Amino acid sequence: MFFFLPLYDDNPIGRAPVVTYLLIGTCVVVFLWQLSQNAEHVAYSYGMIPAVLFGTAELPRGLAVLPPWATIFTSMFIHAGWLHIGGNMLFLWIFGNNVEDVLGHFRYLLLYLLGGVAAAMGQGLSDPSSTVPMIGASGAIAGVLGAYLLVYPNANVHVLVLIIIILRIVTVPAWIMLGLWFAAQLVSGLLSGGGAGVAFWAHVSGFVTGIILLALMRPRDLALLRPPRTARFISAPPRQFVGRHTFHGSVPDSGSSRFGRRGPWD
């Protein structure tokens, strides 16, 4: 058995990541609200459904609570379960605070939202007739990852690695971890043809958009491709890190609803 989980990176921040706090807080509040609602109804009412967005299908009157274009934005704050929101918020916290630090609050929020829009459109265009709701913040967070990679490709990310029964924390360069993540999304998207339960094309679209937006929106004095601050591939047991670090946050694999192909039309 092999498993890895990003925990934090080695980049300090110079300003409080208030927008990252706000985004995480909003997602958590919405998720807690979801727990008191019918999960399937929430997904269909507030998730982005390609066929509805492109006008080839309509939701039943009781579920059509928003214009289809608005669901591009509401879908970013809806999650399918504890693991879904937990993974998304972890990735946002690890990488979002550094991107917000270098871009500033407004430009960071704009990059996040535009990355989410690009992710929704990319996933929708991969299967325009799909009636499966796309939900989750991972497309927008993929945009943050793309921006992070352009500024901090050599930053070390401390990753919890489990190989069978061996548990270690290893420092891995961001370009390796995020590069492998992006490659996995691209290959999975090509193999799935857009029909999988995971929104691979949302991740690919958001990631590429984040790179482009960071290049266009960055302050003139912002240096790209920064060197590492710590040694690479250092390995230590988890107990050596207890109480020494504040975990910062990184990206899960979901973006589409957990609901199957059947929907409220059936």
Phi, psi at 173, each rounded to 5°? -55, 140
Query: Does 259 fall in a domain?
Result: no
Asked if 145 contacts 71 with a C-beta cutoff of 8 angstroms, the reply is no
pTM recorded for the entire structure: 0.85
Query: Does 205 fall in a domain?
Result: yes
**Cα Rg, the chain, nearest whole Å:** 18
Which of 4-8, 18-22, 73-77, 166-170 is predicted with the least confidence, judged by mean pLDDT? 166-170
Count structural domains, the chain. Answer: 1
Query: What is the per-residue pLDDT for 67?
Result: 95
Burial of 173 (0-12, 13-18, 19+ CB in 10 A): middle
CA-CA distance, 133 to 27, in Å (whole number)?
17
Which of 28-32, 154-158, 164-168, 217-221 is predicted with the least confidence, judged by mean pLDDT? 164-168
Query: Does 247 fall in a domain?
Result: no
Query: What is the per-residue pLDDT for 85?
Result: 95
Residues 126-184: tens digit of each pLDDT: 889 999 999 999 999 999 999 999 999 999 998 888 776 777 888 899 999 898 888 88
Mean predicted confidence (pLDDT) in 14-27: 96
| CATH for 105 | 1.20.1540.10
Give the range of the structural domain holding residue 70, as residue numbers without chain letter. 2-241
User: 263 pLDDT band (50/70/90 cuts)?
Assistant: low
Q: Per-residue pLDDT for 197 more than 80?
A: no
